[in-house]
Structure 1
Amino acid sequence: MAKNTNSLFFLGVLTSFTLASLPVSGSGEPPLLFTFGDSSYDVGNTKFFSSVFDPATVWPYGDSVDDPTGRWSDGHIVPDFVGRMIGQQEPIPPVLDPKADLSQGASFAMAGAVALGSQSKTVAMNFGEQISKFVEIRKNWTDEERADGVYMINIGADDYLNFAKDHPNANPAEQIALVASVLTRISRELMKLYRSGGARKFAVQNLGPLGCLPIVRQEFKTGESCLEMVNFMVKTHNERLIHLLRAMTVPYRGFRYSFFDFNGEILRRISEPSRHGYTDATTSCCGTGSRNAFGCGYNNVHSKLCSYQKSFLFFDGRHNTEKTNGEIANLFYSGDKNVVSPVNIRDLVVRSVSDLPAQAI
Structure 2
Amino acid sequence: MAKNPYSLFFLGLLTYFTLASFPVIVSGQPPLLFTFGDSSYDVGNTKFFSSEFDPATAWPYGDSVDDPTGRWSDGHIVPDFVGRLIGQGEPIPPVLDPKADLSRGASFAMAGAVVLGSQSKTVTMNFGEQISKFVELHKKWTDKERAEAIYMLNIGADDYLNFAKDHPNANLVEQIAHVANVLSRISRELMKLYKSGGARKLAVQSLGPLGCLPIVRQELKTGESCMEMVNFMVKTHNERLSRVLHAMTVPYRGLRYSFFDFNGEILRRINEPSLHGYTDTTTSCCGTGSRNAFGCGYSNVHSKLCSYQKSFLFFDGRHNTEKTDKEIANLFYSGDKHVVSPVNIRDLVGKSVSYLPAQEI
Same fold (TM > 0.5)? yes
Matched residues in 2 for 1:22 and 1:256: separation?
17
Matched residues in 2 for 1:343 and 1:205: separation?
13
Query: After TM superposition, which residue ranges in structure 1, 4 or more long, deviate above 6 angstroms?
Result: none
Matched residues in 2 for 1:20 and 1:294: separation?
37
Matched residues in 1 for 2:158 and 2:22: separation?
37
The answer to whether the 8 Å contact 2:21/2:85 transfers is: no
Aligned to 2:287: 287
Residue 273 of structure 2 is aligned to residue 264 of structure 1: no
Matched residues in 1 for 2:78 and 2:328: separation?
7
**What is the count of residue pairs matched by the alignment?**
339
Give the superposition deviation at 1:86.
0.3
**SS where residue 203 of structure 1 aligns?**
strand
Aligned CA distance change for structure 1 residues 20 and 320 (closer, same or farther; 3 Å): closer
Deviation by residue 1:20-69 (Cα, 9 ceiling, x = unmatched): 9432232x100000000000000000000000100000100000000101
The amino acid that maps onto 2:125 is M
Residue 108 of structure 2 is aligned to residue 103 of structure 1: no
Matched residues in 1 for 2:157 and 2:218: separation?
17
The answer to whether the 8 Å contact 1:52/1:122 transfers is: no
Give the 5 Å matches for 1:157-196.
157-196=157-196
Aligned CA distance change for structure 1 residues 122 and 242 (closer, same or farther; 3 Å): closer
Aligned CA distance change for structure 1 residues 347 and 325 (closer, same or farther; 3 Å): same
The answer to whether the 8 Å contact 1:50/1:122 transfers is: no
Matched residues in 1 for 2:348 and 2:255: separation?
11
RMSD (Å), alpha carbons: 1.4
Matched residues in 2 for 1:343 and 1:300: separation?
46
Q: What is the TM-score when the length of structure 1 is the normalising length?
A: 0.92
The answer to whether the 8 Å contact 1:284/1:316 transfers is: yes
Aligned to 1:115: 115
The amino acid that maps onto 1:215 is I
Give the superposition deviation at 1:132.
0.1
**SS where residue 349 of structure 1 aligns?**
helix
Matched residues in 2 for 1:248 and 1:218: separation?
39
Aligned to 1:37: 37
The amino acid that maps onto 2:25 is V
The amino acid that maps onto 1:185 is R
The answer to whether the 8 Å contact 1:76/1:325 transfers is: yes
Deviation by residue 1:295-340 (Cα, 9 ceiling, x = unmatched): 0000110010000000000000000000000000000000000000
Give the 5 Å matches for 1:230-245.
230-245=230-245
Deviation by residue 1:190-234 (Cα, 9 ceiling, x = unmatched): 000000000000000110000000000001100000000100100
The answer to whether the 8 Å contact 2:281/2:313 transfers is: yes
Deviation by residue 1:110-162 (Cα, 9 ceiling, x = unmatched): 00000011033761100000000000000110000000000000000000001
Matched residues in 1 for 2:106 and 2:165: separation?
32
Matched residues in 1 for 2:26 and 2:98: separation?
27
Matched residues in 2 for 1:32 and 1:349: separation?
10
Aligned to 2:345: 345
Q: What is the TM-score when the length of structure 2 is the normalising length?
A: 0.92
Aligned to 1:359: none
The answer to whether the 8 Å contact 1:93/1:102 transfers is: yes
- Higher-Rg member (1/2): 2
Matched residues in 2 for 1:89 and 1:25: separation?
17
Which 5+ residue runs of structure 1 have no aligned equivalent? 1-14, 355-361
Aligned to 2:319: 319
The answer to whether the 8 Å contact 1:82/1:333 transfers is: yes
Aligned to 1:309: 309
Matched residues in 2 for 1:122 and 1:16: separation?
45
Aligned to 2:3: none
Which 5+ residue runs of structure 2 have no aligned equivalent? 1-15, 355-361
Aligned to 1:5: none
% identity of equivalent residues:
85
**SS where residue 202 of structure 2 aligns?**
strand
The answer to whether the 8 Å contact 1:95/1:108 transfers is: yes
The answer to whether the 8 Å contact 2:81/2:329 transfers is: yes
Aligned to 1:333: 333
Give the superposition deviation at 1:103.
0.6
The amino acid that maps onto 1:328 is I
The amino acid that maps onto 2:271 is S
Aligned CA distance change for structure 1 residues 306 and 353 (closer, same or farther; 3 Å): same
Aligned to 2:25: 24
**SS where residue 353 of structure 1 aligns?**
coil
Aligned CA distance change for structure 1 residues 19 and 267 (closer, same or farther; 3 Å): closer
